Chains A and B, each alone.
Chain A
Amino acid sequence: MNNSKHSLSAKDKWFSIFTELHHIIRNEFKTIFKDRGVVIVFIVASLVYPMLYCGLYKNETLVDVPIAVVNASKSEKARAYVRQIDASPDVKVAAKYFNMREAKTAFEAKEVHGIVYIPEDFDKRLNFNEQANLSIYCDMSSFLYYRALMQAANYTALHVGKEVQLERLADKGITGESAEIAAEPISFQNNILFNGGMGFASFLMPVILMLIIHQTLFFGIGMLAGTAREENRFSNLISNSIHRGGALRVVLGKSICYFSMYIVFSFYILYVVPRVFNLPHIGQWMDIATMMLPFLLATIFFSMTVSVFLPNRETGMIIFLFFSLILLFLSGVSWPQSNINGFWKTLSWIFPAVHGIQAYIKINSMGADIQHINYEYINLWILTAVYFLTTIASYKWQINKSELVNS
């Protein structure tokens, strides 16, 4: 008798927790969809930003960067060099000038982004078996210009140089295979294992995609918290109607709401977008899903913790938008992680974005599996636990504050 009564009340309790949770989740969804600003941040930004940036960075590498040639030599070898560099995919010879002054004018007018200068003695030096020099001048306004011209110039020099080498060896009576060996006794092969096309979008877009998830969650949650504060009478973060369930239930309810939405967005951003826009996607999608679980949770709890301190709905975006850039660099994909100085590296540890981006790049772009990203994976779970506790603590604090005001 006693026993059955006990189990009934436990059942009741579970039922009440469940309805309470259900109420909080429904409430949060309603709040989100009623708020145009939040809908824009969560949904429109998540949908549009990936497509927009993929569109802008569609061209992976620079093609046919216009350069000028000043050929003072006019020899057959020099002409061969100009012909071959023009044929390279990186650059095209947009103009030929007789002197450097004219080329400089074209450079200053931004008609060309580099100059190749072949001096008068080019042919003479080649004929006398000496080293022939040529000069390139690179536009440093973008490093991609500089890379394009360097690549094309060096590759062409090797190619034309090889012919010269073989001719010279032939002069010395060395021909055939033995000449080939003398020209290149050791063969060096540069293999690019990942992102073999050296694509700019393939390198940057995966970072941007993860940042979009992190930042839209952060700003959306911040906006919701700021609005709640503005609308409640005593600037409370949590309205009376829902806080009866206690901090744990409020935090669970809200995070379940955000999490379920972002499962869908993450599928779109990390699965659909890379396939539609031809970005790298050599990882196992199960590994990405496994990694995304703690990443989304850590990001949600991180955002909820910070959001407690945002007094107004705009505050978060005004003050923290610039931080998207800081996170981009802290993630250590463009500037290598090994070269980030100790202080910033330590600081970077507290941001879920940093571990999430590294983990995603390694799985998605480098085909790593979940064991390879152990470090990031464990850190993400630690951050999830820490930020979960800080969220509960700060929500408890807010609820106590509002109860104090109410009584």
Chain B
Amino acid sequence: MINGIFKTLHATTMRELKRMVSRPIYFIALVLVMAFCYVFFLTFFDNGQPDKMPIGVVDLDNSSLSRQFVHNVSATQLSKITMRLGSHKEAREEMQRGNIYAFVEIERDFQKKTIANKRPVIGIYTNDAYLVAGSLLSKDLMYMSALSSGAVQRQILRAKGIEESRIMGIIQPIVINTHLIGNPMANYGVYLLNVLLPGVLQLMVLMMTIFSVGVEFKERTSLLWLEQADNSIQLAIIGKLAPYTLVFSLVGMIGNILLYGYMHYPLNAAIGWMFLNTIMLVTASQSVGLLLIGITPVLRDGVTLAAFYGLLGFTFAGFTFPIEQMPPSTRIFSYLFPIRHYFNIYVDQALNGLHIAKSAYSFLALGCFNLLPIIVLSRLKNAALTKVFPIK
């Protein structure tokens, strides 16, 4: 009995393997796409934070004090002065052209007003249409300004005869120590790639599950597929999908190794848990794929559905815009995406290093996706037997 099942599975898998080497699409979708993404994203975000972003300076004063200030600006890590502009209007236009992400404007008589205690104004203009560049630069430039201002303040306070030991307490009475849990350098690669790459994996698994099953209907070979598996739809599915589970899991785990090993992204748990997370993401996505192709056993519709669902996964993972801050009626949908649970496990384990028990529910949820195909088993079998669906 067991032997028989094994033989049937073996035959079904062998049949699928033959298919897989018959057309380039299998190799491309199984291996090349993820390989490209690894190379692309890891080289794209290898710096972690954008530095030396181009900014402009409008120095209308051109005094020794204003030049000193410009010098301080040029020493900041995130920005690089690439343009010196004559007027506010000019600077604004360069910003509209996208040549600079921010500019600093020093008013005429800056030095005179400083010396006369008339509180001159320095304008820091940033562009949040490019939100990342804009907010990083505004933080950086404001911090630098506070330091420069502090130097002036120190002179004023000294002149007023305040003891040196008390000066800092007046310049900055409250100091904030910031601790960034799990990602101390605020590395963008850590923040994005830990979810983006598994998100692409989920998308490809969905696509290939639907393709590998749907193509049998499309090419009217589903009867042969089922016969090979002794007319058992369960065995037919397991035998067919097993090679995909294996390859995608391997590709996914290579991704884990690249992120946590090669890139040294934070990993505060045993890497085995992330491997398990990846494997369960693959099988859960396969199950969703089966559900979709079961609902509509037409390849083209299945692929369209998967595209829709797969792209929404990136939104519903909740790593860019948190789920809790979305409209209440849409929050519940996040549970329907394996990548959401993968994300939760990643946050609890790799990022925050919590006890593994904290992730039990998320693992359970990922596992539950594997029950989904049961709903469509008879429908899939029916489709395989009757072949009544349009092929186009």
Contacts and interface: CB of A to CB of B under 8 A. Distances in A.
A385 interface: no
A141 B29 contact: no
A229 to B, nearest CB: 12
B178 A136 contact: yes
Contacts of A321: 203, 207, 307, 310-311
Contacts of B157: 182
B268 to A, nearest CB: 12
Interface string B312-351: 1011001111100111001000000000000100011001
B315 A53 contact: yes
Given A161-B172, A203-B128, A334-B132, A319 B33 contact: yes
Contact of B173 (A164, A187, A191, A219): A164
Contacts of A40: 304
Contact of A141 (B98, B146, B319): B319
Interface string A227-255: 10011000000000000000000000000
Contacts of A367: 96
A358 interface: yes
A339 B47 contact: yes
Contacts of A187: 119-122
Contacts of A113: 322
Contacts of B76: none
Contacts of A333: 129-130
A194 B127 contact: yes
B44 interface: yes
Contact of B40 (A65, A139, A319, A326): A326
Contacts of B118: 181
Contacts of A219: 307
A140 B309 CA distance: 26
Given A55-B330, A135-B179, A161-B173, A143 B93 contact: no
Contacts of B175: 131-134, 157
A43 interface: no
A361 interface: yes
A318 B173 contact: no
B134 A195 contact: yes
Contacts of A366: 95-96, 127, 129
Contacts of B51: 339
Interface string A165-187: 10011001010001011111111
Nearest to A172: B162
A62 B325 contact: yes
Contacts of A191: 123-126
Interface residues of B, number: 116
A10 interface: no
A318 B369 CA distance: 22
B148 A186 contact: yes
A137 to B, nearest CB: 5
A190 B351 CA distance: 33
Contacts of B299: 314
B300 interface: yes
A185 B303 contact: no
Contacts of A322: 33, 37, 200, 203-204
Contact of B128 (A62, A134, A144, A192): A192
B17 interface: no
Contacts of B50: 335-336, 338-339
A289 interface: no
Contacts of B129: 194-195, 202-203, 280, 333, 361, 365-366
Nearest to B172: A131
Interface stretch (B4-12, B182-190, B226-234): B182-190
B128 A196 contact: yes
Contacts of A193: 92, 95, 125-127
Interface string B283-299: 00000000000000001
Contacts of B132: 334-336
B356 interface: no
Contacts of B224: none
Given A57-B321, A131-B169, A200-B321, A138 B174 contact: no
Given A142-B191, A188-B142, A198-B131, 5 more contacts: A133-B175, A140-B181, A182-B156, A185-B152, A318-B303
Nearest 9 Cβ contacts at the A-B interface: A368-B96, A195-B128, A203-B131, A164-B173, A339-B50, A140-B183, A365-B129, A194-B129, A336-B133
Interface of A: 35-37, 40-41, 45, 52-53, 55-59, 62-63, 65, 81, 107-108, 113, 126, 129-147, 150, 153-154, 157, 160-161, 164-165, 168-169, 172, 174, 178, 180-196, 198-200, 202-204, 219, 223, 227, 230-231, 280, 312-315, 317-319, 321-322, 324-326, 329, 333-341, 343-344, 358, 361-362, 365-368, 372-373, 375
19 contacts: A57-B326, A126-B173, A134-B177, A141-B351, A143-B186, A144-B325, A168-B166, A182-B153, A185-B114, A185-B149, A194-B127, A195-B128, A227-B392, A313-B300, A313-B392, A335-B44, A335-B45, A341-B43, A366-B96
